[in-house]
Amino acid sequence: MTLSDPQAPAGKLSRPAIEIDNLNKWFGSYHALRDVSLTVGEQEIMVVCGPSGSGKSTLIRCLNHLEEYQEGRICVFGQELARDQKSDRFIHQTMGMVFQNFNLFPHLTVLQNCTLGLTWLRKKTESEARDIAMGLLERVGIEHLADRFPGQLSGGQQQRVAISRSLAMDPKIMLFDEPTSALDPEMVKEVLDVMVKLAETGMTMVCVTHEMQFARQVADRVVFMQDGEIVEVGPPEQVLLHPQWDRTREFLNHIL
Amino acid sequence: MSEQKLKHFVPTPPRLPATNEQNLLRRIQKQCFNSIGNSLLTISVLVLIYYVAKSFLDWAVFNAVWNAATRRECMDISPDGACWAGVIDWFNGLIYGRYPDEEQWRVNGGVVMGLLWLLPLMNRRIAYRNSILISWITLYPFLGAYMFLGGTFGQDVGIIHMVFTSLAAGYFILLYLNWMLCAAGQSSLPERVTPLTSKLFRRGQHMNGFLLVWAVLSILCGVALAQVNLEPVPVDRWGGLFLTLIIASFAITMSIPVGILLALGRRSKLPVIHWLSMMLIELVRAVPLITVLFMAVTLLPIFLPSGAEPDKLSQVLFAVCLFAGAYMAENIRGGLQAIPDGQYEAAQTLGLGYWLTMGLIILPQAMRLMIPNIMTSFISMLKDTTLVSIIGLFDIMLMARNISNDKNWIGLHTEPLALISILFFVMCYGMSQYSLNLEKRLKAHRS
């Protein structure tokens, strides 16, 4: 059993952003998360990897209240989450999430996808919202597609829209649930580039991904999960190049 | 080094698609006369069509009588032809029922006003299109009812009805003033007033300007309408196509909100709401419309305190609305089930609550998916409204049957029914074409 390992780079753990303490979750009788404890520091980039079914997606969906959990506690910036799945305004204001399947709203244009939350929740006027959204779309390099509908875009472009849509709400933490797994190889890079740029701005990020190149490049720590447990946590050079556990090495041999 | 050795890829230029062009004759030959059996079939169908069309046209056009005083006269002129003279004689009755002749302009006016209210929706670039639709559903009925019912402000018209009629009239005028100013490239009235209101109030500037202009216009309209004295026409004088359209449009417009609420209720996690919606839907769907109508007319007054008995039209409207809503709820529920979970999750992570998620994300998509089914329901509702003739409302069906009781036109059944068949066909076909058009337009940007 390896618990959370505070081997984060100095200066980054000034203040914990997310504290997960002995989290347990069952789907029916299936024990999906087993005593998961982990602390993510502010401005830290955390990459979660592991074979499919290891509970990594479930973990970050718990963070965002998309799944309820049965035991343990999660604190975000010191505030504890309710355990049952109720929409929690604080959480959704603090965290943005990017999904594997983009989940853009197909009946709205790219721009409307990004301004929706701003006009309806942040009570911005239409022109303010438009300015913010266009700025973000520019940052991810698709401002020229603002008036298209998601169905007219490639996967990589859609995922970049999804990232801007989340960023528009000005979250403190971004969660990425396998953001590149549904993409053609040629489009993976454009999404990763956006994520690297985002990491450079000091955003706290938790990414479930198999892109080890990305992990090596920007991650502060890498978490390896197996069967609902955290096997290994540490800086990328350590976990990816000199893993302590046989299971980690086996997994890395498969995907690298 | 190695890059120099690589060959440069040049894409092959595209070609036009290979065609196997055929002229019309060739196509007909290939599709209709490609074997002896098919040739025989084609010929016999053509002959059949010819006979049916010929005998119908002979009856309806060539041998028809257009001018006559009585059915007897018709028979004398042309025994094999249609006697349209009777229908023409009764035409006003078919359209307006027993509405007084000299007041019929009010029906025309009210209906035209309702259509004009919706006209700005044709312009797709107009702002706040939703609010126009919502105002049409919530405000227009009051204005329409005032036009149709008549009466004087303060006497026959109740205070609530007075207020809403004035609000509706004010909104209608504001709508057109704004549209005209907008078309002329000027800033709209609320925008002009906003500087004034922003001095009075602090927040929600745009909204305040709009509300102020609306209130002023409504008061002006109220004062103007109070001077007008419309002859009261009680509901039991309404009839004909006019009444059919009122019932049908009420059923169609109310079925959407009622259906949405029932569908959401049925999917609700709260047990009381879930069971109530489900019971209501299943109960209404398991019973024929005619039974629902009879129940509304006979049972509803029992539940209401004595003296508060509503008129027959209100009871019928209530029943039709319930019936249409229950059917619509199942349509909408089908659409809701087709929306993937990811949409709910994405909305949730943005922080949209239940009603915003439903209103902005889920329902717009679900409704689009269900357009064909919803339109089918609308069409059957329009046709089903003819059943109200059975409980004694003088809708177009009952008026048509009444023609044959007129002593001048005794026994004239076929022609009025033929006319309303044509009328209904035109209306229903129009609706179905509109829905096809809508589907095409909404699909254009989806794939």
The confidence score (pLDDT) of residue B347 equals 93
- pLDDT tens for B167-206 read 999 988 888 888 888 777 777 676 777 666 666 665 555 6
The confidence score (pLDDT) of residue A45 equals 93
- pLDDT tens for B21-80 read 667 888 888 888 888 898 999 999 999 999 999 999 998 888 888 888 888 888 888 888
The confidence score (pLDDT) of residue A56 equals 92
The confidence score (pLDDT) of residue B443 equals 75
Q: A62: nearest CA in chain B?
A: B349
Distance CA B374, CA A135 (A): 40
What letters, b where the CB count within 10 A reaches 16 and e where it falls short, cover B61-89?
eeebbeebebbeebeebeeebbbbbbbeb
Smallest Cα distance from B368 to chain A, Å? 9
Q: Which residues of B touch A103 (CB under 8 A)?
A: 340, 342-343, 345-346
Q: Which residues of B touch A151 (CB under 8 A)?
A: 445-447
Cβ within 8 Å, pair B349-A104: no
User: Across all residues in chain B, what is the average pLDDT?
Assistant: 85
A158 touches chain B (CB under 8 A): no
User: Which sequence spans correspond to the domains of chain B?
Assistant: 23-89, 103-232, 240-405+413-447
Smallest Cα distance from A96 to chain B, Å? 6
Percent of chain A with pLDDT over 70: 93
Q: Which of B347, B349, B368 sits opposite A107 (nearest CB)?
A: B368
Q: B363: nearest CA in chain A?
A: A107
If you average pLDDT over residues B433-444, what whole number do you get? 84
Number of Cβ within 10 Å of residue B351's Cβ equals 24
The confidence score (pLDDT) of residue A79 equals 85
The confidence score (pLDDT) of residue A4 equals 43
User: Across all residues in chain A, what is the average pLDDT?
Assistant: 88
The confidence score (pLDDT) of residue A3 equals 39
Cβ within 8 Å, pair B349-A89: no
Distance CA A45, CA A211 (A): 14
Give the pLDDT band (50/70/90) at residue A5.
very low
Distance CA B336, CA B358 (A): 9
Q: B308 pLDDT exceeds 70?
A: no
Cβ(A160)–Cβ(A141) below 8 Å? yes
- pLDDT tens for A62-92 read 998 888 888 899 999 888 887 766 657 788 8
Which two three-digit tokens encode residue B415?
């022609």
The confidence score (pLDDT) of residue A203 equals 92
The confidence score (pLDDT) of residue A116 equals 93
ipTM score over 0.85, yes or no: yes
Residue B244: partners with Cβ closer than 8 Å, 6 or more residues away: B382, B385, B386, B395, B396, B397
- pLDDT tens for A87-101 read 577 888 889 999 999
CA-based torsion, B172, B175, B181, B183: positive or negative: negative
Q: Between B102 and A256, name the one with better pLDDT.
A: B102
If you average pLDDT over residues A243-247, what whole number do you get? 87
If you average pLDDT over residues B205-222, what whole number do you get? 80
Q: A115: nearest CA in chain B?
A: B350
Q: Which residues of A touch B353 (CB under 8 A)?
A: 87
Cβ within 8 Å, pair B349-A101: no
If you average pLDDT over residues A200-224, what whole number do you get? 91
In B267-360, where does DSSP find H-type helix?
Answer: 271-285, 289-298, 300-303, 312-337, 341-350, 354-356
Q: Between B263 and B402, name the one with better pLDDT.
A: B263
Give the pLDDT band (50/70/90) at residue A10.
very low
Q: Which of B340, B350, B354 sits opposite A92 (nearest CB)?
A: B350
Closest CA to A56 of A215, A246, A253, A256: A215
Cβ within 8 Å, pair B349-A64: yes
Which two three-digit tokens encode residue A19?
């504290």
Cβ(A174)–Cβ(A198) below 8 Å? yes
Q: A6 pLDDT exceeds 60?
A: no
If you average pLDDT over residues A239-251, what whole number do you get? 88
Give the pLDDT band (50/70/90) at residue A11.
very low
Cβ(B174)–Cβ(B213) below 8 Å? yes
Distance CA B432, CA B438 (A): 10
The confidence score (pLDDT) of residue A2 equals 36
The confidence score (pLDDT) of residue B228 equals 82
A96 touches chain B (CB under 8 A): yes
A196 touches chain B (CB under 8 A): no
Q: Which residues of A touch B354 (CB under 8 A)?
A: 87
Q: A36 pLDDT exceeds 90?
A: yes
The confidence score (pLDDT) of residue B447 equals 47
Smallest Cα distance from A154 to chain B, Å? 12
The confidence score (pLDDT) of residue B146 equals 87
Give the pLDDT band (50/70/90) at residue B127.
low
If you average pLDDT over residues B322-337, what whole number do you get? 93
Which of A15-19, B195-199, B253-257 has the least mean pLDDT?
Answer: B195-199
Q: Which of A64, A120, A166 sits opposite B360 (nearest CB)?
A: A120
Percent of chain B with pLDDT over 70: 91
Fold type of domain B240-405+413-447: MetI-like fold (1.10.3720)
Q: Which of A95, A96, A120 sits opposite B352 (nearest CB)?
A: A120
The confidence score (pLDDT) of residue B259 equals 94
- pLDDT tens for A136-159 read 999 999 999 999 999 999 999 999
Q: B355: nearest CA in chain A?
A: A120
Q: A63: nearest CA in chain B?
A: B349
Q: B128 pLDDT exceeds 80?
A: no
The confidence score (pLDDT) of residue B184 equals 76
Distance CA A215, CA B129 (A): 48
Number of Cβ within 10 Å of residue A97's Cβ equals 27
